[in-house]
């Protein structure tokens, strides 16, 4: 049975495996009043990735808790925008790292204000020096183990909106909080889902929109010098809270800015 904890009024057990070992995963969901952006995408990913970790939870149960949390935690006006976070852990128990044969998962829910959304003129980004490694067995899962992103985020100076993380060989993988997508004259290019630490729901939705529009999508590694890609038309940062963000400056190099992806893909149309 799922144990539900509201972060604004209850304490999480010190024995919870999410706290002790990062044994869990999470979703950060943009809300408009009681409605969620990319609701089905978030819940489907949470259930599927929990299954990959061996955490047993049902879609209907999570959907019900999302609805209840939206009613309880919604701040301000009925139609206002905010952010709902759902943390799912394996629960408590087990000796050391070894999980118990069966356990009751814990769902921790909390609310926060919607951060400022960047404008269409584009943002400044640069590369982090801290590398990103991806375990192929955990690739794409938004687990609670985000220490590499934490370490990279210590490099923010306040001048850039995002830091892009590269693999140990120097190839760009993703931002500290975003997925990458590049538009060239020939195709839309994004690192493959099995090569990224987090396969974001915004990334998935953007690919679905592009496919429906008959666009060519290629999943492969990006070069170390994105600005030298032949026919480069734009670099996009994808995030389910911020949506689609163009990069105008990468490591002091100007990039072309276009609004093509935003016209093809509008996540606010998914409100449920």
* Per-residue three-class SS string for 57-89: CCHHHHHHHHHHHHHHHCCCCCCCEEEEEEEEE
**φ, ψ for residue 189 (rounded to 5)?**
-120, 135
User: How would you list the strands of the sheet with 24-32, edge to edge?
Assistant: 3-6, 106-113, 81-89, 24-32, 35-36
What does each of the 272 residues of the chain score in pLDDT, given as a tens digit? 899 999 888 888 888 999 999 999 999 999 999 999 999 999 999 999 999 999 999 999 999 999 999 999 988 666 689 999 999 999 998 778 999 888 899 999 999 999 999 999 999 999 999 999 999 999 999 999 999 999 999 999 999 999 999 999 999 999 999 999 999 999 999 999 999 999 999 999 999 999 999 999 999 999 999 999 999 999 999 999 999 999 999 999 999 999 899 999 999 999 99
Q: Which residues have CB under 8 Å from 87's CB, separation 6+?
A: 18, 24, 25, 26, 107, 108, 109, 110, 144
Q: Give the C-alpha separation, 123 to 92, whole Å.
A: 42
Q: Which residues have CB under 8 Å from 254's CB, separation 6+?
A: 248
Query: What domains can you pick out in the chain, each with its CATH number?
Result: 3-113 (3.30.470.10), 123-266 (3.20.10.10)
């Amino acid at each position: 049975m799922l144990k539900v904890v509201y972060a604004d009024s209850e304490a999480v057990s010190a024995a919870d495996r999410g706290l002790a070992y990062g044994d869990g995963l999470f979703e950060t969901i943009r809300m408009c009043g009681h409605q969620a952006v990319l609701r089905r995408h978030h819940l489907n990913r949470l259930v599927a990735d929990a299954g990959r970790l061996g955490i047993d939870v049902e879609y209907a149960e999570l959907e019900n808790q999302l609805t209840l949390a939206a009613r309880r935690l919604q701040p301000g006006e009925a139609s206002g925008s905010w952010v709902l976070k759902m943390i799912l852990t394996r629960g408590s128990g087990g000796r050391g790292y070894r999980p118990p044969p069966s356990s009751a998962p814990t769902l921790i829910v909390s609310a926060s204000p919607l951060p400022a959304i960047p404008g269409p003129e584009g943002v400044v980004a640069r590369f982090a020096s801290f590398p990103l490694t991806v375990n192929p067995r955990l690739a794409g899962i938004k687990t609670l183990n985000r220490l590499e992103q934490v370490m990279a985020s210590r490099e923010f100076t306040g001048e850039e909106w995002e830091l892009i993380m590269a693999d140990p060989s120097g190839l760009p993988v993703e931002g500290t909080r975003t997925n990458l997508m590049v538009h060239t004259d020939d195709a839309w290019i994004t690192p493959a889902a099995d090569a990224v630490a987090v396969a974001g729901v915004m990334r998935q939705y953007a690919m679905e929109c592009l496919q429906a529009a008959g666009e060519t999508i290629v999943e492969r590694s990006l070069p170390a010098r994105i600005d030298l890609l032949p026919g480069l038309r734009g670099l996009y940062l994808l995030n389910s809270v911020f949506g689609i963000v163009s990069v105008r400056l990468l490591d002091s190099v100007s990039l072309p800015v276009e609004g093509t992806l935003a016209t093809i893909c509008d996540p606010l149309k998914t409100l449920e």
